């Protein structure tokens, strides 16, 4: 009696079977990268990595259902000039959105707002030239600083964002600055609860900017 021919699965059936066997994470599209370029707040001064801004922003984006990978690029003590100098190294080419969170140390050093504006302008322009969308995080100077200087410094961020069509988050420390329960003992750096407040406020702006690039 002749042997029965062996039945081989079709190529399409084989591919489908392999796809079902793979974990869903292997089939998902790569997550878009969000880089946070900043100073000690971004670097997570005084906090474990899991409580720092990049990790908490990642968690908030996850909570919003946004597929993204947040990458921290913070250097403690950095000014806008420092961020500009290391921009190409710190913001890698796979970045889709860059949150620029610099200027706090310029403010503490009493730098000329025109210099801060020029540095931020160059940062945003170079990121845009690389096809990277920008969320510019501003700062609101405390009341103890002279009114004229405070107004000029605060206006820098809106002016740069408007000039380049970048998204603006007006005050990175909104709801956190000068609130003892949300800051570390130095009164300048947010504690874990404070970082959570920042991340929750910032995440929707980042999510909207990512969506605009879809």
Q: How far apart are CA 198 and CA 53, in angstroms?
A: 8
From the candidates 39, 78, 90, 189, give the one annotated as an active-site residue.
189
User: CA Rg, the chain, in Å?
Assistant: 22
Q: How far apart are CA 207 and CA 115, in angstroms?
A: 30
Q: Cβ contacts of residue 149 below 8 Å, gap of 6+? A: 110, 113, 141
DSSP state of 190: B
189 tagged catalytic: yes
186 tagged catalytic: yes
Nearest residue to 135 (alpha-carbon basis) of 161, 114, 105, 106: 161
Q: How far apart are CA 189 and CA 199, in angstroms?
A: 14
From the candidates 3, 10, 181, 186, give the one annotated as an active-site residue.
186
From the candidates 10, 40, 67, 94, give the one annotated as an active-site residue.
40
Task: Give catalytic residue positions.
Answer: 40, 186, 189
């Amino acid at each position: 009696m002749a042997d029965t021919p062996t039945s081989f699965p079709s190529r399409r059936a084989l591919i489908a079977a392999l796809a079902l066997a793979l974990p869903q994470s292997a089939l998902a599209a790569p997550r878009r990268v969000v880089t946070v370029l900043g100073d000690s707040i971004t670097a997570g001064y005084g906090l474990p990595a899991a409580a720092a801004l990049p990790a908490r922003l990642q968690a908030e984006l996850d909570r919003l259902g946004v597929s993204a990978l947040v990458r921290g690029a913070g250097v403690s003590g950095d000014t806008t000039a420092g961020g500009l100098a290391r921009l190409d190294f710190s913001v890698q080419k796979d970045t889709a959105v860059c949150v620029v969170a610099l200027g706090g140390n310029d403010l503490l050093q009493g730098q000329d707002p025109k210099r801060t504006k020029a540095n931020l302008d160059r940062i945003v322009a170079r990121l845009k030239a690389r096809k990277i969308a920008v969320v510019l995080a501003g700062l609101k100077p405390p009341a103890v600083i002279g009114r004229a200087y405070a107004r000029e410094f605060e206006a820098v961020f809106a002016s740069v964002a408007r000039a380049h069509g970048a998204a603006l988050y007006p005050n990175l420390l909104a709801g956190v600055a000068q609130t003892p329960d949300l800051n570390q003992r130095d009164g300048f750096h947010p504690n874990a609860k404070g970082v959570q407040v920042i991340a929750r406020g910032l995440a929707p702006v980042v999510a909207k900017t990512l969506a605009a690039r879809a």
